[in-house]
Structure 1
Amino acid sequence: MASLQPLTALGKREATAVTHGPLTITERTDVALASVAARKGRMADLSAAAQKAGVPLPGPATHQAGIPYSAFWVAPEMWFVEAPHATHELIADLLKSALGDAASITEQTDAWVAFDLAATDLAPLLERLCNVDFPAVPNGYATRTVMEHLGVYLVKHGPGAARLYGPRSSAESLLHALETAAHSAF
């Protein structure tokens, strides 16, 4: 019988963390992720079920932290919902039970790589990679943007803290882009 062991998006057994000057890039393997989309004409039902279940449904370009669920807006009546992987490995099933038939829910955990970026100031790094004016947007800002020809989601947690979601299949390319930009930014 085969002995299967999970690997991170970067092909390792443990999450990767790298430091370049003041910047730390940490691969996050401890986050479960699912998409939640309101079914046609069911937004009111979804809002009521989400409120009861403690699932935030923030407005456009916004991330809302919560326990155990956090979420960020990705499109009209659609969100990505995050939770700790240790307790929500089956996040899609848990959300389907909580939200019922008011939403279409899709497992997203293994489709994306998540990197947390930390530095005193991330602006010098991000201005080399994307068109988001990072210092001007508020904490809790979430948007889809492009970095090195890859569609990514960027969530601002503070002037020196952000989470980046990129396609899992391009995890190494995205990390390389971050490291390359860090060499010239710091």
Structure 2
Amino acid sequence: MHDLVAITPLGGDKPRVDRVGPVTLSERPDWALASVASRLGREQDCRDGLKAALGQGVPDVGRLAAGDPLSAFWTGPEQWMVEAPHASHEDLAARLKAALGDAASVTEQTDGWCRFDMEGDGVVAVLERLCNVDVAAQDSGAATRASIEHLGCFLVCRAARRSLSVIGPRSSAGSLHHALLTAMRSAL
């Protein structure tokens, strides 16, 4: 019998936390992710089902609909990424598929992505060194795609100019973390 042990995207047995000046960078493997894409001709059914599952409106272009426990952000036309605490929603994709039926294609994304939360005064200066998103102009609830260190990532603004999530490919978690930490050391 195998004795398998869960590891974080950075390969640790617990999430990594780094602090540089006033900014904290935290590895967040405690979030489940699932993508939702409406099927052709079923867009309104998908939106209605997703609205019911979220318990709030479906996020518009470039937006996050933050809720408790489910949140979602827009990823493309009639497409969203849904997130929830992993401890209570390990089966997030299955729950969404049951709620949306054949109105949407739902895929498990938890282990395909890594999430780093960056918090504190100075996050704007850090992100200015990494991507062409005007982070200083973003309000709370903004969500966008960006290229960071040649990686396609999502930037989700949790609190304007103070708290952001950077969600990138898990297979490049080490490179993404290195880029974020290097920019923190450069900016702060």
TM-score band, normalised by shorter chain = over 0.9
- Deviations, residues 18-54 of structure 1 (Å, cap 9, x unaligned): 1111111001111000000000010111122222223
Establish whether residue 169 from structure 1 lines up as the match of residue 171 from structure 2. yes
Partner-residue secondary structure (3-state), 1:166:
strand
Q: Note if 1:76 corresponds to 2:77.
A: yes
Report the count of equivalent residues: 186
The residue that corresponds to 1:129 in the other structure is 130
Give the Å deviation of 1:98.
Answer: 1.0
What residue is the counterpart of 1:14 in the other structure? 14
How far apart, in 2, do the equivalents of 1:65 and 1:89 lie?
19
Q: CA deviation at 1:120?
A: 1.4
| TM-score, structure 2 as length reference | 0.96
Q: Distance in 2 between matches of 1:130 and 1:85?
A: 29
- What SS does structure 2 have at the residue aligned with 1:135? helix
Report if the CA contact (8 A) 2:54-2:71 is conserved. no
List structure 1 runs of 4+ shifted beyond 6 angstroms: none
Mind listing any 5+ residue stretches in structure 1 that lack a counterpart? none
Matches for 1:1-186 after TM superposition, within 5 Å = 1-54=1-54, 56-158=57-159, 159-186=161-188
What letter is aligned with 1:33? L
What is the alpha-carbon distance in structure 1 between the residues aligned to residue 53 and residue 112 of structure 2? 25
Identity of aligned residues (%): 50
Cα deviation, 1:111-163, whole Å, max 9, x if unaligned, reads 00000000113111000000011111221110000111111100011211000
Aligned-pair distance for 1:68? 1.7
Aligned equivalents of 2:27, 2:146: Cα separation in 1:
19
Check whether the contact 2:36–2:104 (CA below 8 A) recurs between aligned residues. Answer: yes
Q: TM-score, normalised by structure 1?
A: 0.97
The residue identity in structure 2 corresponding to 1:178 is L
> Bigger shift: 83-92 or 47-56?
47-56
| Contact 2:37-2:79 within 8 A present in 1 as well | yes
